[in-house]
């Protein structure tokens, strides 16, 4: 067992997902079996292996760092669950 309920709740907090007790227990079981299963990677000797950072075999082209004004703020705001005077609105942060 790698994870206990405390760790699950800590990870859930980091991921900003609230879990019911039942959900936490379910996930605990699944995640422990998944983490046990991936343990087999420890059989592989990787001491002299560089981690793979980019899988692409072609040279990745660069572009000029130029701002492009597409001015779609109104359209973008249409998708927001709550907005106010051209801004995204969220529950009060500071009293």
Partner 1 sequence: MEFKSINQLKSLIDQNKISLKEIAQTYIKKIKEKKDLNIFIYFDEDKINNQVKEIEKLPNNKKLKGIPIAVKDLFCTKNMPTTAASKILENFNPTYESFVTQKLINEGSLFVGKTNLDEFAMGSATNTSYFGNTINPLSNKDTPLAPGGSSGGSAAAVAADLCLGSTGTDTGGSIRQPASFCGVVGIKPTYGLCSRWGIAAFASSLDQAGIFSKNVTDASILLEEIAGHDERDSTSSNVSIPNYSKQLNSDLNGKTIGIPKEYTVDGISEEINTVWNNAIKSLEKKGAKIKHISLPHTKYALPTYYIIAPAEASSNLARYDGVKYGFRADEAKSLDEMYEMTRSEGFGKEVKRRILIGTYVLSAGYYDAYYLKAQKVRKLIANDFIETFKECDLILTPTAPSAAFPLNEKQDDPIKMYLNDVFTVPASLAGIPGISIPYGKDKSGLPLGIQLLGKHFDEQEIFNAAFALEKDYE
* Closest distance of CB 2 from partner 1, Å: 9
Residue 32 lies near partner 1 (rule: CB under 8 A): no
Residue 50 lies near partner 1 (rule: CB under 8 A): yes
Please, what sign has the CA dihedral across residues 81, 82, 83, 88? negative
Residue 28: Cβ within 10 Å count? 19
Q: Which of 72, 71, 91 is nearest to 81 (CA)?
A: 91
Query: Using CB under 8 A as the criterion, which residues of the chain lie in contact with partner 1 when the complex forms?
Result: 3, 7-8, 11-12, 14-19, 23, 26-27, 30-31, 33-35, 37-44, 46, 49-61, 63, 72, 75-76, 78-82, 88, 90-93
């Amino acid at each position: 067992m790698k994870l206990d309920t405390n760790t699950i709740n800590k990870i859930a907090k980091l991921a900003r997902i609230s879990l019911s007790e039942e959900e936490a227990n379910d996930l605990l079981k699944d995640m422990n079996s998944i983490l046990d299963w991936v343990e087999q990677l420890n059989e592989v000797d990787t001491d002299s292996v560089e981690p793979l950072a980019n899988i692409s075999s072609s040279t990745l082209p660069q572009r000029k760092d130029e701002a492009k004004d597409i001015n779609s703020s109104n359209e973008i705001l249409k998708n927001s669950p709550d907005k106010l005077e051209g801004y995204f609105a969220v529950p009060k942060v500071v009293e």
